[in-house]
Amino acid sequence: MWLANQQTPDFRTINRFRVQQMETCLQAVFEDFIAQILEQGYISGSDYYLDGTKIEADANRYTFVWKKATQRYQAALQEKVRTVFKEINDQIKLDHQEIQKFIQNTKKAASAQEVEDWTKGIEEQAGERLKKPARRSPDRTLRKQVKALKNDFIPRAKKYEKQMETFGERNSYSKTDTDATFMRMKEDHMKNGQLKPGYNVQMGTENQMILFYTLHQNPTDTRTLIPHLKQLAHSPIAHPEHVIADAGYGSEANYLYLMEEHYQGLIPYNQLRQEEQRRFKKDLSKIQNWEYHELEDVFICPNHRKVVFKKYMTRTDHYGYKRDFKIYECEDCTDCPFKSKCTKAKGNRQVHYNPVYEETKAKARRALNLEEGRARYRRRKLENEPVFGNLKQNMHFRRFHLRGLKKVHVEFGLLALAHNLMKKVKMDFQQ
């Protein structure tokens, strides 16, 4: 109001400015601010504390669409369409090759467009027979079938195809904000673990300043590290020396990416704490406690038998990431006194060993065990959590007010900028 000479702009004007104007300039303003605080020494730019939080979308909590349900409906619809085409084919011989393939099941699925084109072809072929057939004439059934295809099956097939397109790699979305995905939130006031539509906000901080942020549609932190760092490369904090994050980010793909891009990662993996416990170290079934002879490439099990290399195996996970395993098998497990503790298998014990992952895990362990690494990792708790606390508790930001990934990105950018400005003022005041 001061800038506008005490005029009171309409709320629509403010909103239009927030949605349309800010979209083009906010990123630049934010990056400019970060470049300035970097220059003035508020941050060093070498330590990057990465963590994520889920923020609820401005969408109705009960407007979910699930991928599995859509796939099920789509498959059921394909069968119905196939049956109708079979029945029509019995009445009028359909000469289209693709339809014949579909009827005989050699073509597994037909797209909505194909069904629409085929229906038009049937209408042309049937011609006069579809126009007002007599009461008991078999053409009445034919007319009904064509009508069902046109009014029910084709629109439904189009709807399911559109839904599948909206899902992308996600398993769900909300009808009110189609960019929002259903996720498990920490704030669960109903205490029933209900999934809510939201966005996964990933941010890097240093000295409790938000250095960079990205918004993701998938709820798992593991899969956000690589896209986040790729986008970070275009910001003023292009390449921090250390990336510090919790065990939720400790995967083979992430470790390899950090190594390739020359980041010093301080990221534990899920079993690290467990492996350090005395109970784990005494557990005879764990191969980490077995002897390994590199020359022979064999493990020696607690019963002093050789567990020898058998073959290589590649596994592709749910997201298409390929991991190579070496499969080892014990020479002979018969009459072994440790068998019940060692394996549940009826035959010999098998070991699935992933050498790349084990090596990256060992590297992560070494980095975290160094005094310098420990000190940095300890600071993690003082970095991200207070920022989330400030945004959610003090600034009361628990839910987005705009819809769509682009708009939500702007909204969070404004919030992050406000947080950083307040933090800077506080630091100046303390000095």
Q: Which residues contact ligand SF4 (rule: CB under 6 A)?
A: 301-303, 305, 307, 330, 333, 336, 338-339, 342-343, 349
Residue 95 or 331 with smaller CB distance to ligand SF4: 331
Q: Least distance (Å) from ligand SF4 to the CB of residue 346?
A: 11
Under DSSP, is residue 395 helix (H, G, I), strand (E, B) or coil?
A: coil
The dihedral built from the CA positions of residue 62, 65, 66 and 69, taken in this order, carries a sign that is positive
**Smallest distance from ligand SF4 to CB 347, Å:** 10
Smallest separation (angstroms) from ligand SF4 to the CB of 377: 35
Report DSSP letters for 16-53, one per residue.
HIIIIIHHHHHHHHHHHHHHHHHHTTS--SSEEEEEEE
How near is the Cβ of 329 to ligand SF4 at its closest, in Å?
Answer: 9
If the CB atoms of residues 122 and 333 are measured against ligand SF4, the closer one turns out to be 333
Our CB check for ligand SF4 shows the closer of 201 and 351 to be: 351
For 158, counting Cβ atoms within 10 Å of its Cβ (0-12 exposed, 13-18 middle, 19+ buried), the class is middle
* For ligand SF4, the closer CB: 195 or 300: 300
Contact call for residues 265 and 241 (beta carbons, < 8 A)? no
Write phi, then psi, for 49 (nearest 5 degrees): -95, 110
Residue number with CB closer to ligand SF4 (176 or 350): 350
The rounded distance, in Å, linking the Cα atoms of 323 and 192 is 36
Amino acid at 105: N
- Between CA 320 and CA 316 the distance in angstroms is 5
Least distance CB 312 / ligand SF4 (angstroms): 20
Residue with smaller CB distance to ligand SF4, 41 or 337: 337
**Positive or negative CA dihedral for 183, 185, 190, 192?**
positive
CB of 327 to ligand SF4, least distance (A): 14
